[in-house]
A and B are shown apart, each in its own frame.
Chain A
Amino acid sequence: GAVVSQHPSRVICKSGTSVKIECRSLDFQATTMFWYRQFPKQSLMLMATSNEGSKATYEQGVEKDKFLINHASLTLSTLTVTSAHPEDSSFYICSVKKTNYNEQFFGPGTRLTVL
């Protein structure tokens, strides 16, 4: 397997502020990381694919200026929710793909609540 961490695990913020969520691959270098969003009692929706050293690839309907993704190193990707609104409240989960492995390893998730 692989160990993936996310920080913070929970965050509460006011409307209009920005929140940064970190995803770290702790035991291997990940050229590709994924960001998902999960609404209560719903499945995971892929938001974007984060590639180290290049721009992230966003899924249709996901605003790249609102959800800023930075994959500056092989072990760290960050998701910044800019000018957060209550409808951005959700569970955000990252995953990493290990080269030559056909599976994704998921982080524990970050619960964002925007007041």
Chain B
Amino acid sequence: GEDVEQSLFLSVREGDSSVINCTYTDSSSTYLYWYKQEPGAGLQLLTYIFSNMDMKQDQRLTVLLNKKDKHLSLRIADTQTGDSAIYFCAETSSYGQNFVFGPGTRLSVLP
């Protein structure tokens, strides 16, 4: 079946950029998503990218997609302590249904 992989931990200093990486196996993925989960809370959609796009930027967030390598990344510029959370990469090949989530990357922002 489909698989989504992420590194489990990332630590950065406040003010630096964070880059969270994700790889997936489903070549028919149509949409790829980044969700943020704070402790004890549900998931908050940060951004998503359609598979025919290479890049999407939204304020401090930049998503890069390399479809050939099935690699997705999320860059957070000027990382703040409030960005500390778990970030989940997810993909779907069926228009918003049948999401497959990665294991999540725990981002720690150090002062």
Contact = CB atoms under 8 A, between A and B. Distances in A.
Bound together: yes
Interface stretch (A14-22, A64-72, A75-83, A100-108): A100-108
A42 B98 CA distance: 18
A100 B99 CA distance: 16
A104 B31 contact: no
Interface size classification for chain B: 20 to 34
Contact of B96 (A1, A44, A102): A102
7 contacts: A1-B45, A43-B88, A102-B31, A102-B48, A104-B99, A106-B43, A108-B42
Interchain residue pairs A-B with the least CB separation, the first 5: A106-B43, A102-B96, A106-B42, A108-B42, A43-B101
Interface of A: 1, 4, 6, 32, 34, 42-44, 46, 49, 93, 95, 97, 101-109, 111
